[in-house]
Structures are given as C-alpha cells and as structure tokens.
C-alpha cells in the first residue's frame, strides 16, 4: 500500500539513504502485523480441539474469530481518532503489549467465556496496530522508498493470512492449542521490545478525523472496492473458518494431516498473490472479477468433487491460489480509486476487511450449526460471485 501524499516530518529521513536501523524498524512493524493477524485467525485451525476441551460446538467456537474481527473493524477507524496526537511509537508498543496479555489469557483460559474476553482484547490490538502501521512507511523512509517500505510492512499481514493459520495448527497439533496461543504471545513480546528499540518518536502531525473517513464513501470507485473486499473476504471466511471439519468430514482427510495441508494452502496462496499481482496492473477490474469467480467456483465445487481425499486436497490448493489474489487485488483497487487519500481509504478498507472476517465467521457458524457443514461452502461461493456485481460497471483510476 503506497501513499501518494508525502510531507517530511522530524522522524522522516530527507535523503535517499536509509539506515539499516530504519529498515529494521520497518521489518519490526511487518513482524508486528504478522503477529496480530496470525492471532486473529489462529483459532481457525484449532476449532475442533478448543471446542472439545471447553465443551462448545464448532459453530459456537467460531465466535473466537467473529469477536476480534468485529472489535478490530471498530478499532481500525476509531483508535486513530481517539489517540489524537499521541506518539505512534508508544501506541504501537502498547497495542502489542495488549496482544501479549490477551494471548496469555487465552492460553490460561479456564472457560470459553474467559477465552472470548481475551479475543475482545485481541480485536483492539489488531484493528489499532494494522491501522497505524499504514503510516509507518511514510514516517520511516524518504518518498522514493515508500513503496518498498509499505510492501514490507503489509507483507507481514499477507504472510499471516496465508501462513499464520497452518503454523498455529501445526503447533497445536504437535503440542496443545494453549501452547499455540502462548508461542504467538511470546512472538508479540519480542516485537514489542524491537519496536521500543528501533522506532523513533512519531508524534502525529495531524490528528485523524472521522469525517475524513466518511468522505471516502462519496467516491463510487472506493465504494465498489470496499464492497468487493467485503464480499470476497466474508465469503472466504464463512467457509475457511471451518476448514478443519470440512477436510476431515467432507473430504475424509486424516485429522493429523490438516496442519500440513493448511501449510500447502498457504504456499498456494502466496503463489496466487504473485500471479494476480502481475495481472492487476494490466486490467484491475477484470482481475478482481476473475478472483471472485475463481473463488466462487472452487467453493461451489468442493461439496461435489471434494468428497474424497484426492479431490479435497486438489480443491484446497486451488482455493489457496484463488484466495491469494484477494488481498493484492482489493488493496490495489483502493489505492487506484483514491490516489490522493490513500491513508483514510486504507483505514476504511481495513475496517471492512476485519468486519468481513467477523461476519463471515459468524454467519458461517450459523449455517454450520443449523444447515450443514457443506452449507458454508455454498454460502461462501454465493458471496464471492457477487463481487462481479460490485465492480462490473465501475470505472477505477
């Protein structure tokens, strides 16, 4: 994500040379985004053991994804407004410390209610950290290096989207779901220390106003991009939140292989992201539509062709390829739609992204509990295909 408006601040280098320490600071923020997004999605691969241990259904266990997603969607636009001119360095460290505390609560939770409280705190950390990280690149490097720095910063979020879940699933499979939360919390502690050591003081130059965020929705292209984000992300997570029981119950895959297969999904998603990134610059509208159609097709075919291990694994790989194109395509759309308002438009889209995760998991849980586990695949496919209606007639750029 790049920002086109750039004003040097006391914390911004004004020469082309960027010190190694500055790049380390950018990398620390990237690892921070990886940590918070991983924490948000960590329960996806652990629903079955957590539900069994705490005595809740898999549908109810999906609330562990819904709650932080809803909170993060509110925190992303509101926290920058609430903190005013407070030093962003201090806020980032505080948000990472909050994530560490929340993961400790999760690891020690004696009941599902306590676990949900910890997930509420995680949501604050996710939304606030992700929203503020958008401005770090501009503050750490000169204008010519901003694209590189933003690619690194949000590379952490992309990596978490495709690798965080399988990593947590593998850890939980080899040890225990509580250990998985504890390990990610330990990573957060290391990030907090790194941020304290590497980031310079970053007082806000201009406080964020709510009206700036609301103004973005007056742009038809931004509205279409936000709607596309909501459709694609909610459709994906309505189904993917329950990928463990889908692989085990629908495809007949051994539960011990789920963690490894989710890692395969992550690798496929990285490949999909790279491929879509190459095509997005040529015809962005066609690319977004193609990603939506591909995701819908895979989800719709899974109940039909994925009822055996070979078919299920094959479709899982195709699912990864399709979803890998979602973040890069919708983020490219938002930046192209609002070239002079990259930061508020990105904050708005971040809020919608997290809201989509939450509502996708919520309604997916309702479908899983009241219809069938395969129902979440059909539901996700319907939402994904609606993306074409959102962007089909809108001109961007």
8 in a domain, yes or no? no
260 plus 125 within the same structural domain: no
* Res 186: pLDDT: 95
The CA distances from residue 385 to 229, 287, 327, 378, 390, in Å, are 12, 13, 16, 11, 10
6 in a domain, yes or no? no
11 in a domain, yes or no? no
CATH number at residue 249: 1.20.1250.20
Secondary structure of residue 282 in the 3-state scheme = coil
291 plus 309 within the same structural domain: yes
In the listed set 164, 183, 208, which residue is the last one of a domain according to the structure? 208
Domain count, the chain: 2
* Res 6: pLDDT: 35
**Domain extent at residue 106:** 17-208
In the listed set 140, 174, 208, which residue is the last one of a domain according to the structure? 208
187 in a domain, yes or no? yes
* Res 272: pLDDT: 85
Per-run averaged pLDDT (10 residues), the chain, 397 residues: 37 62 87 88 82 85 86 84 82 95 95 94 90 71 65 71 71 84 94 93 70 80 92 93 89 85 84 79 86 95 93 94 86 78 75 85 86 90 89 77
> What is the pTM assigned to this prediction?
0.74
* Res 7: pLDDT: 37
* Res 145: pLDDT: 67
> Helix H segments across the chain?
20-41, 47-54, 58-61, 63-82, 88-108, 112-133, 136-140, 146-159, 165-174, 177-198, 210-215, 220-240, 243-249, 258-280, 284-305, 309-337, 342-370, 375-385, 387-391
* Res 162: pLDDT: 67
* Res 147: pLDDT: 55
Closest by Cα among 35, 329, 21, 326 to 156: 35
135 in a domain, yes or no? yes
200 plus 244 within the same structural domain: no
């Amino acid at each position: 994500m790049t920002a086109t408006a750039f004003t040097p601040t006391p914390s911004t280098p004004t020469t082309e040379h960027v010190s190694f320490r500055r790049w380390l600071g950018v990398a620390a923020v990237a690892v921070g985004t990886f940590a918070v997004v991983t924490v948000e999605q960590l329960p996806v691969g652990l629903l079955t053991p957590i539900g069994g241990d705490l005595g809740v259904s898999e549908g109810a266990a999906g609330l562990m994804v819904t709650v932080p997603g809803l909170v993060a969607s509110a925190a992303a636009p509101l926290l920058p407004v609430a903190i005013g001119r407070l030093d962003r360095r201090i806020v980032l460290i505080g948000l990472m410390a909050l994530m560490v505390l929340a993961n400790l609560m999760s690891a020690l939770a004696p009941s599902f209610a306590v676990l949900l409280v910890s997930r509420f705190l995680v949501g604050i950390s996710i939304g606030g950290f992700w929203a503020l990280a958008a401005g770090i690149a501009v503050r750490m490097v000169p204008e010519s290096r901003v694209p590189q720095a933003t690619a690194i910063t949000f590379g952490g979020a992309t990596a978490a989207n495709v690798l965080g879940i399988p990593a947590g699933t593998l850890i939980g499979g080899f040890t225990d779901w509580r250990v998985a939360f504890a390990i990610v919390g330990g990573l957060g502690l290391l990030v907090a220390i790194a941020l304290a050591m590497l980031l310079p003081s970053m007082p806000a130059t201009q406080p964020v106003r709510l009206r700036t965020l609301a103004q973005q929705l007056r742009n038809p292209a931004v509205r279409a991009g936000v709607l596309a984000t909501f459709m694609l992300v909610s459709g994906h997570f309505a189904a993917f939140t329950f990928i463990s029981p889908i692989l085990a119950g629908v495809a007949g895959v051994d539960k011990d292989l789920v963690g490894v297969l989710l890692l395969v999904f992550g690798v496929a998603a990285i490949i999909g992201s790279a491929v879509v990134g190459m095509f997005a610059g040529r015809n962005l509208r066609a690319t977004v539509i193609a990603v939506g159609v591909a995701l819908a097709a895979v989800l719709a075919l899974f109940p039909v062709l994925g009822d055996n291990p070979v078919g299920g694994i094959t479709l899982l790989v195709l699912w990864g390829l399709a979803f890998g194109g979602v973040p890069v395509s919708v983020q490219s759309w938002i930046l192209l739609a609002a070239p002079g308002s990259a930061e508020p438009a990105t904050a708005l889209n971040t809020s919608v992204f997290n809201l989509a995760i939450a509502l996708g998991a919520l309604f997916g849980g309702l479908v899983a509990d009241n219809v069938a586990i395969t129902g979440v695949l059909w539901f996700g496919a319907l939402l994904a295909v609606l993306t074409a209606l959102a962007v089909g007639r809108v001109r961007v750029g």
